Structure 1
């Protein structure tokens, strides 16, 4: 009798642990897969991705191969019937998001699978999107143009060939500005992304952050460093796809006496500021003058933002600083930052790995740069799953609103010059 009871207890315990083991396996975040099953609530502490986000050890198969871009291309080639289901996810959208539409510009030159995953995460039917595909991109990237045929709010163009250090980025961004400004959607902010970035906030969280800015831009801006003035004091031109210096003639100073600022290509621009870039005489003159400079995208947006009267602009310093977190647009680790990069550095920028997840999910910025699915797909998959889970909750949680209210640009958000914002 006692022996049969003991055998029964052993069998029951075995079944309990077997069920628990299978349940755990089913909820783990699979490595190197584009689409993940929904992870459980982060409060439960279950799921591989949530353990990685907390910095806990987890079984990670780094030898697995990343998802093939060929699969994405095949899906695109099969047309809208294959493409639409990936975007029509059951994801609630609250009224606060609908009355505050956003415009996104994606500057793309590679990795269509990664771009597809980014678009899948940020896509909302009430927003508008412009995808600029580099003219020299491979055909597999060019297939992204099919998106324009499937979505009423996605525009795709191939305006220029972008060369590192050249004026192509400014041209591509302005082309998207022009197209999005002519849509029927009266979006509030224009957000520039690259195809190798990934968002850190849901659409609702982005909306609430931008509402705090109240029409002020989020653009990195500080006086142009003396040791980098060679960038616009020397003429540059593109020769055979490479930026080359022209030493035969000096570049004249800009004809108007304005302060030149340095910043980043990527930021969050108010609608009024975008219209100012497209329509004002001084913006056209500055962009034309900077065209033969080195990396003009790091000069024109910041300088225009610092002009007196620029919609949403300001004259305070807003600079990348890991400790201060002033630039809300981008979380990035440069090689000289005193923050560990668990991935690898490419052109002095950290390419994130899954071991960077605890840092990424703690950041206040809306976007992180940069990711490479061929290097580490898991970090992108986990962020996508985390964001989808938060979007399903339809609420903003664990947000440091005190920080957003106290960055320098938020202090300027009286927006006296933003009358055109409501146009």
Structure 2
């Protein structure tokens, strides 16, 4: 596994901080009968111990200081499995994918996922194995701008699973918002035509991560939204600035950016539709997906949306407010805890509104955010980067996997567990 190299002064600081951490968190993994402690001069901070992750979840300040230095990411280990020769069984086991439904309830309620990716390959693999169960189905849309090696690695992974496939049509163009909308629709078409039966579809980006288990996601859908779509969004009073103007969206005190009802558009909306503004993320019933792919109003709105600045933040929420749409919620507002985001300057804001719309305001989660993340009511959070903040995602992944296995009602395979890591790595 590759290591993050440090300058000599940085190495000494790292060693000192990690030695202090051992006194705080417990005995080092190398301690034992007849064992000698490695000299601090030849020790580099290794991967995280479980104790460090636990302390981070509890918000202990000392752990956050250690986390600044102990940052070896799991990326090289993940990439090694993707590029190493071997069969698919070895790949699946090596990457610790769960190979059986963890309960009868989950086995009888299948979810479909649309995942759009372009970069952060290790982060995407961590996301995929966190949401993967064999009864679900996954459509992966790879951005045309992604490097060839990235595309090849994702294709290699997908080819090992019957229920993971690459979108049959990839999108490209100069209008990122509309490309994203088209990518979701392309995957939806593939999912409807596939042999897999599924109940709901959820869209994700490659830098999202679940903060609920598969069972908890199903319980949330069934308990509060059974048969209904989740598309958080509202109509803002007419005095608000429309996001269809050339300028940037106007943020409201609630943390979202909203459009005024049918004002500021270059062309009148088709079929006299009232345009809503909301989250680009959704949880949709299969019947609603089929409606979107075939209904004349949905098709006409798609063409009309080409002129919008953020069409993905208008399209789903507007169609879901139509009273005759399957699973519609005509009177809904911001209800639906789909996605948690970290807003720059609003780190403590728990608002779950317009997530995925104003990306320029979205920050990357760090170790100090873990206590709030694990207590969030949201199903997913965005965004994470293994390249810059590997520890937070690694700890969150272990926490989420441990919860999933604790909820399991079937015998567990040994390779489903993530192994404990040592405090130090000796040169």
Task: Give the shorter-chain TM-score range.
Answer: 0.7 to 0.9
**Aligned twin of 1:376:** 389
Could you list the per-position Cα deviations for residues 102-125 of structure 1 after superposition, in whole angstroms to 9, with x for gaps in the alignment? 001111111111000111111101
2:83 aligned with 1:83: no
Gaps of 5+ in 1: 1-16, 40-46, 235-249, 320-325, 397-423
2:275 aligned with 1:260: yes
**Aligned twin of 2:373:** 360
Is contact 2:101-2:134 (8 Å) kept? no
Aligned residue pairs, count: 342
2:80 aligned with 1:101: no
Report how far residue 68 of structure 1 moved.
7.0
- TM-score (ref. length: structure 1): 0.73
Gaps of 5+ in 2: 1-22, 33-43, 248-264, 351-357, 410-427
2:116 aligned with 1:121: no
Deviation larger for 88-97 or 203-212: 88-97
Q: Say if 1:282 and 1:70 are closer, same or farther in 2 by CA, change over 3 A.
A: same
SS of equivalent to 2:272: coil
SS of equivalent to 1:131: strand
2:221 aligned with 1:215: no
Report how far residue 148 of structure 1 moved.
2.7
Q: Which 4+ runs in 1 deviate beyond 6 A?
A: none
Q: Distance in 2 between matches of 1:122 and 1:279?
A: 29
2:142 aligned with 1:133: yes
Q: Say if 1:92 and 1:313 are closer, same or farther in 2 by CA, change over 3 A.
A: closer
Q: Distance in 1 between matches of 2:361 and 2:295?
A: 35
Q: Please give the residue correspondences for 1:300-319 in structure 2 after superposition, counting only pairs within 5 Å.
A: 300-319=315-334
Q: Distance in 2 between matches of 1:267 and 1:181?
A: 17
Q: Say if 1:151 and 1:392 are closer, same or farther in 2 by CA, change over 3 A.
A: same
Report how far residue 311 of structure 1 moved.
1.3
Report how far residue 71 of structure 1 moved.
5.3
Q: Distance in 1 between matches of 2:184 and 2:125?
A: 19
Q: Please give the residue correspondences for 1:17-166 in structure 2 after superposition, counting only pairs within 5 Å.
A: 21-22=27-28, 33=47, 39=50, 47-59=51-63, 60-67=66-73, 69=75, 72-78=78-84, 80-81=87-88, 82-85=90-93, 86-89=95-98, 93-143=102-152, 144-157=154-167, 159-161=170-172, 163=174, 165-166=176-177
**Counterpart among 369, 381, 392 of residue 405 in structure 2:** 392
Q: Distance in 2 between matches of 1:304 and 1:25?
A: 61
- TM-score (ref. length: structure 2): 0.72
